[in-house]
Structure 1
Amino acid sequence: MEPSKLYRGRDAAGIWHYGYFVEQWIYGIEKKYVQVDVATVGKAIDVEDKTGTPIYTGDTFEYKGYKFVVEYDKDGAGYVGKGIDNPTYQISGYDLKRMIITGNIYD
């Protein structure tokens, strides 16, 4: 399977846009470019959470009382849930399918 090329980013009005990311623009399903805040851009990781919601980098969830953020782990060459409250604690990419996304770090 080819990795996802879909991204999301928030514009100046706080609205999320989904599509392809080019520099500081999202080219979305509306077939137009929308300028987004680059700091809010997250990449789809080709995994859905327990409810079927697509997961993006920057998404957050809770597990056993700890908060996590989804990010790419270059040492493990994959996506993980990295502990926010406890940075040494992380959830494997495989286990992300069992979580429920509760938000993202930009909300």
Structure 2
Amino acid sequence: MLKISTDRLIIRDHIEEDLYPMHELLSSRKEMYYLPELRTTSIEVINQNLQVAINESKTNKRSKFFFAIIDKNTGDYIGEIGFIRKSKSIFGDIMELGY
């Protein structure tokens, strides 16, 4: 499992227990105000996305890097960040960032 730790945050690969906190975030009108196309109230859709993230984290040919952001002091799930490999160039992989 990939895990990055700072003074205030832990950024890590997803785990099964992220489902309900993810649902709370992605179904919130307030939190998803600027990303309405990603907002969903369907726990089934969120679970499918979570399973993609978990499965990708277990492969050697990973092209999707989705991470949970955790408040280090409280242990609360507070957000998401992700990178998707879009293509390759002579300089290396071209990634798309989302948060």
**Shorter-chain-normalised TM-score: which range?**
under 0.3
Structure 1 length-normalised TM: 0.23
- Higher relative CO (CA 8 A, sep ≥ 6), structure 1 or 2? 2
TM-score scaled by length of structure 2: 0.24
The structure with the largest helix share of the pair is: 2
